[in-house]
Chain A
Amino acid sequence: MAEKTDYVKKDKPLLKVDNLKVSFFTPAGEVKAVNGISYELHENEIMGIVGESGSGKSVEAYTIMGLLAGSGKVCGGSIEFEGKDLLHLSRKEMSDLQGNEMSIIFQNPMTCLNPVYTIGNQLVEVVRRHDKSISKKEATQRAIDILTEVGINNAEKRIKQYPHELSGGMRQRVMIAMGLICNPKLLIADEPTTALDVTTQEQILQLMKKLQKIHHTAIIFITHNLGVVAEICDSVSVMYAGHIVEQGKIEDIFYHMKHPYTEGLIASMPRIDIVNHERLNPIEGSPVDLLNPPKGCCFAPRCGKCMRICQEQEPPYVKVGENNHISACWLHVLEMKKEAEKNG
């Protein structure tokens, strides 16, 4: 705990991801799912990661949680969590953090709970894993408490039920309870609402917001739904083809977006705050084939403002606003260049 306060004092980030690269080695070749992303997350902050399917959002989350499996390999960069280099922890050290200091909520609550054990069993298991001194009875009580907290009625009865006896929304609540039961400092929510219907989505979001206020957990909220991001996040990273293309505070991204991809995303989002309805503008083209990524900027093939250099070179990050609002696009470099020439 002393350590924790230290970090607050120095205002060090809780989580620091630096130039992280993750690849999958398939028979067809290397798939660079995450291709050098960096960001910092502070306590009590909710950061959104948006991007379309296959942009590397989930892979990145799994890498932080130490859940990368199969042919996935970290190819470079570092992840620091409370000053610990997660990529160089032993398996045991890592597993002591998992579910305890940091936890994750997955996309599909239907398949993420073990079908052959009761809810209670699966909740108690987490508590007892990370604190052996807790008796089974105490742990069960804690499970009941947390289930009640995430809005499950009749928790005493529910803990004796099997996952298939619960609805999707219920199961996602159980997943959230499981994530929060050890009071983690970091919670990664990997599209927690995608598999749910709209009304349930809204309930889950409100629940997460409420719980975050109570527990002060830092949250990484991964989604492809900009509406959800707008509702819950403090800052946003926009991902495309394994790159973060734009990063900034929520208002900056929504009202002062700079990157053509972000512009496209926002333009393709239905909004009720705009009175004169225009047609939605989808982004043309299709997502990048990560097996054969294009040379240069990965968004260039779909970009309406594509320039020659975009097809040759990956763009640098350019500071485009206050509060660390950055964007990776040659257009910004061009602007800077013009400005520099103007100034002499």
Chain B
Amino acid sequence: MFKYILKRVAASAVTLLLVAAITFLAMNAIPGNPFLDENTTVEQMEIANAKYGLDQPLLVQMKNYLLNYLHGDMGESLKMQRGTPVKDIIFGQGKFELSIQLGVLALFLTVLMGIPLGCIAAYNRGKAVDNFLNVFSTVGIAAPNFVVATLLLTLLSVKLGILPAVSGSFNDPKAIIMPAIALSLYYVCYVAKLTRTSMLDAINQDYIRTARAKGLRTGSLIFKHALRNALIPVVTYLGPLTAGLLCGGFVVETTFGVPGLGRYFVSSIIDRDYPIIMATTIVLSTLIIGMNLIVDIVYKIVDPRISLSGTNN
């Protein structure tokens, strides 16, 4: 188990390194230099040269850049908040916390709603409940999160005036309701569908037939034998889910005016503030890859078939 975790951690580190390298190289492919803007003075150039080693070969530059990141130095903003260290922008202004709050809430909503709904549908297969949930989740999957976000905004805020249209901070619990629903609805539906399918799949497995032949009660059949197997694909989906929630945050934060990292990231892309784009990409990638790592380990616990050597399938 320990060896397995070690292997997975190493693999994740390689992926992260690769993402960082791609980010760096991609940014370097931009004509000019992403760290400097048009009005750079000679002194600034010298400082930059000293700091990033811009006159050195690309690989050395990349090494420096990655080392700087490891030390927590993410450069300075060029446009959005000129001169402010990117690290402070991301972590020091409450943006990160806001986005994480929203993401974690949506994650909980997804797991705590999606899995039970999927089980209920599978258990009542073919009945009215199943049909209703099926229609609901099918429609939910077809609606992009910005559609859900804007429709919620129209209905609850503009027409009914129940909830605030702009969620400047989450101090008011009302402010987080719509963003969280808009962010998680798609995934609730997806997870519900996934759970239903894999639950039905599990129910059709030979070992469920064995369990039935043993005379086990329905409860034991569903919760002991089917659910644990059915949860395996759901657990594997948690990785993509995290990525989806973080990137979905861009849309939801933009729509509801949440001053989080996602919204800032989108603005930085439109403004071409390269250091911020790079830093945000790497921070978010770290989160996603970290989540994938956790998923792999949980997966190992849920499914004993994954061999200890660390190779899947």
Where the two chains meet, the residues of A that have a C-beta atom closer than 8 Å to any C-beta of B are 65-67, 69-70, 94-100, 103-104, 106, 108, 111-117, 125-126, 129-130, 162, 164, 175, 178
Q: A115 and B213 in contact (CB under 8 A), knowing A162-B304, A164-B304, A164-B305?
A: no
List 30 contacting pairs A-B, 8 Å CB cutoff, sorted by A: A65-B213, A66-B212, A69-B204, A95-B212, A95-B217, A96-B215, A97-B215, A98-B214, A98-B215, A99-B214, A99-B215, A99-B216, A106-B206, A108-B206, A111-B207, A112-B206, A112-B210, A114-B207, A114-B210, A114-B225, A115-B207, A115-B229, A115-B303, A116-B228, A125-B216, A129-B214, A130-B215, A162-B305, A175-B210, A178-B210
Judge if B89 is at the interface, Cβ distance under 8 Å. no
Docked-complex contact A178 and B304, CB < 8 angstroms: no
A66–B209 CA distance with the chains assembled, in angstroms: 10
Judge if B211 is at the interface, Cβ distance under 8 Å. yes
Label chain B's interface by main secondary structure: helix
CB contact between A67 and one of B205, B207, B212, B224 (< 8 Å): that residue: B212
Docked-complex contact B304 and A116, CB < 8 angstroms: yes
> A116 contacts which chain B residues (CB < 8 A)?
228-229, 302-305
List the A residue with the shortest CB-CB distance to B209: A67
How many residues of B sit at the interface, in one of the four size bands?
20 to 34
Minimum Cβ distance to chain A for residue B142 (Å): 26
Docked-complex contact A104 and B215, CB < 8 angstroms: no
CB contact between A129 and one of B217, B229, B305 (< 8 Å): that residue: B217
Where the two chains meet, the residues of B that have a C-beta atom closer than 8 Å to any C-beta of A are 204-207, 209-217, 220, 224-225, 228-229, 302-305
Docked-complex contact B214 and A106, CB < 8 angstroms: no
> B303 contacts which chain A residues (CB < 8 A)?
115-116
> B213 contacts which chain A residues (CB < 8 A)?
65, 67, 98-99, 103-104, 106
> A125 contacts which chain B residues (CB < 8 A)?
214, 216, 220, 224
Minimum Cβ distance to chain B for residue A280 (Å): 33
14 further A-B pairs in the complex, CB-CB below 8 A; given A116-B305, A126-B214: A67-B209, A69-B209, A95-B212, A95-B216, A103-B213, A111-B205, A112-B206, A112-B209, A115-B207, A115-B304, A115-B305, A116-B302, A116-B303, A129-B215
A104–B214 CA distance with the chains assembled, in angstroms: 8
> A114 contacts which chain B residues (CB < 8 A)?
207, 210-211, 225, 229
Minimum Cβ distance to chain B for residue A185 (Å): 14
Minimum Cβ distance to chain A for residue B246 (Å): 30
Q: A98 and B212 in contact (CB under 8 A), knowing A115-B305, A116-B228, A164-B304?
A: yes
List the B residue with the shortest CB-CB distance to A97: B215
Docked-complex contact A113 and B215, CB < 8 angstroms: no
A271–B305 CA distance with the chains assembled, in angstroms: 42
Minimum Cβ distance to chain B for residue A148 (Å): 20
A113–B214 CA distance with the chains assembled, in angstroms: 12
> A111 contacts which chain B residues (CB < 8 A)?
205-207
A99–B211 CA distance with the chains assembled, in angstroms: 9
> A94 contacts which chain B residues (CB < 8 A)?
215
A70–B203 CA distance with the chains assembled, in angstroms: 11
> B207 contacts which chain A residues (CB < 8 A)?
111-115
> B210 contacts which chain A residues (CB < 8 A)?
106, 112-114, 175, 178
List the B residue with the shortest CB-CB distance to A175: B210
List the A residue with the shortest CB-CB distance to B207: A114
List the A residue with the shortest CB-CB distance to B212: A67
A98–B215 CA distance with the chains assembled, in angstroms: 4
Docked-complex contact B215 and A100, CB < 8 angstroms: yes
Minimum Cβ distance to chain B for residue A181 (Å): 9
A65–B228 CA distance with the chains assembled, in angstroms: 25
Interface hub of B211, B228, B302 (most chain A Cβ within 10 A): B211
A113–B229 CA distance with the chains assembled, in angstroms: 12
Minimum Cβ distance to chain A for residue B101 (Å): 34
List the A residue with the shortest CB-CB distance to B307: A164
Minimum Cβ distance to chain A for residue B236 (Å): 14
> B220 contacts which chain A residues (CB < 8 A)?
125, 129
Minimum Cβ distance to chain A for residue B126 (Å): 11
A116–B299 CA distance with the chains assembled, in angstroms: 11
List the A residue with the shortest CB-CB distance to B214: A99
A222–B302 CA distance with the chains assembled, in angstroms: 35
> B229 contacts which chain A residues (CB < 8 A)?
114-116
A65–B214 CA distance with the chains assembled, in angstroms: 10
Interface hub of A69, A106, A116, A129 (most chain B Cβ within 10 A): A116
Minimum Cβ distance to chain B for residue A184 (Å): 10
Minimum Cβ distance to chain A for residue B223 (Å): 13
Minimum Cβ distance to chain B for residue A40 (Å): 22
> A100 contacts which chain B residues (CB < 8 A)?
215
Interface hub of A95, A97, A104 (most chain B Cβ within 10 A): A95
Docked-complex contact A95 and B215, CB < 8 angstroms: yes
> A66 contacts which chain B residues (CB < 8 A)?
212
> A97 contacts which chain B residues (CB < 8 A)?
215
List the A residue with the shortest CB-CB distance to B303: A116
Minimum Cβ distance to chain B for residue A334 (Å): 44
